[in-house]
Amino acid sequence: MPNRAEQIFQPQFKFGLGGVPLGNEFNKHTDKEAEATLEAAWALGVRYYDVAPWYGFGLAERRFGHFLHNKNRADYVLSSKVGKLFKASKDNRHADVFPMSDSPNDLIMDYTADGVRRSIEDSLQRLGVSHLDIAYVHDLSPDFPYHPNGWEESYEIARKGAFPELTKMREEGIIRAWGVGVNTPFAILKVIEDADPDVCLCARQYSLIDHANAIEQVVPAG
């Protein structure tokens, strides 16, 4: 019997579009340009879309949601991420992280059960959809510089809070699957031992230049 990841990623969903650029991380894009990008991707047959609250402090989710919420929900796969909440503030520090996003928000790191549930609820509102196909616990690895007390403490909070809560939300049908989305393999290897993730995202770890960790550690563990 196929596992959840195999059920979600049917052949037509194996080529995707990531949301970082449309969160204005690299260049400042207008809403019109973002819409044109998404229209072109859809026309070319792209049906997997990966976003995160982190991308533009909510901007990418709003843009993807504006486009996708008018599509048949069964026709595409959508993933987002948890671990970061946002609070509107006139004295916000978005310029320190996403200076081109024009966000009104400040970042709050939160890997607790309540924080994860709120994160997904916020994402669903920004995206204008009823559920996520995949929720990744975001940046739970040593390379992310904004953990208040180090990534080990954040991981322990997630192990006790985020992981079981995501399993519960999966059972409730709010998400179809969950895992971690990281730039290094450490959290993936740990979460496989500590919980029951369905699919994990290991960014920047499988290229001609850098692939040893993916081949020698992550793939065998999965």
Q: Which of 55, 76, 111, 155 is catalytic?
A: 55
Top pLDDT among 9 and 213 is at: 9
Radius of gyration of the chain (CA): 17
Top pLDDT among 6 and 153 is at: 153
pLDDT at 120 over 90: yes
| Cα 30 off chain centre by | 22
Q: Which fold has domain 4-221?
A: TIM Barrel (3.20.20)
What is the secondary structure of 56-70 as a DSSP string?
Answer: TTTHHHHHHHHHHTT
**Environment class of 39 (CB within 10 Å of its CB; exposed 0-12, middle 13-18, buried 19+):** exposed
pLDDT at 8 over 70: yes
Q: Is 55 a catalytic residue?
A: yes
Average pLDDT over residues 86-91: 87
Q: What is the pTM of this model?
A: 0.90
Strand partners, 140: none
| Structure tokens given for 192 | 């496989």
CA dihedral for 156, 161, 162, 168, sign (positive or negative):
positive
pLDDT, one tens digit per residue, over 132-165 is 999 999 999 999 999 999 999 999 999 999 999 9
Alpha-carbon distance 218 to 206, whole Å?
Answer: 10
Q: What pLDDT, on a 0 to 100 scale, did the predictor assign at position 1?
A: 35
Q: What pLDDT, on a 0 to 100 scale, did the predictor assign at position 58?
A: 94
Q: Which sequence spans correspond to the domains of the chain?
A: 4-221
pLDDT, one tens digit per residue, over 41-77 is 999 999 999 999 999 999 999 999 999 999 999 999 9
Phi and psi at residue 189, in whole multiples of 5°?
Answer: -65, -35
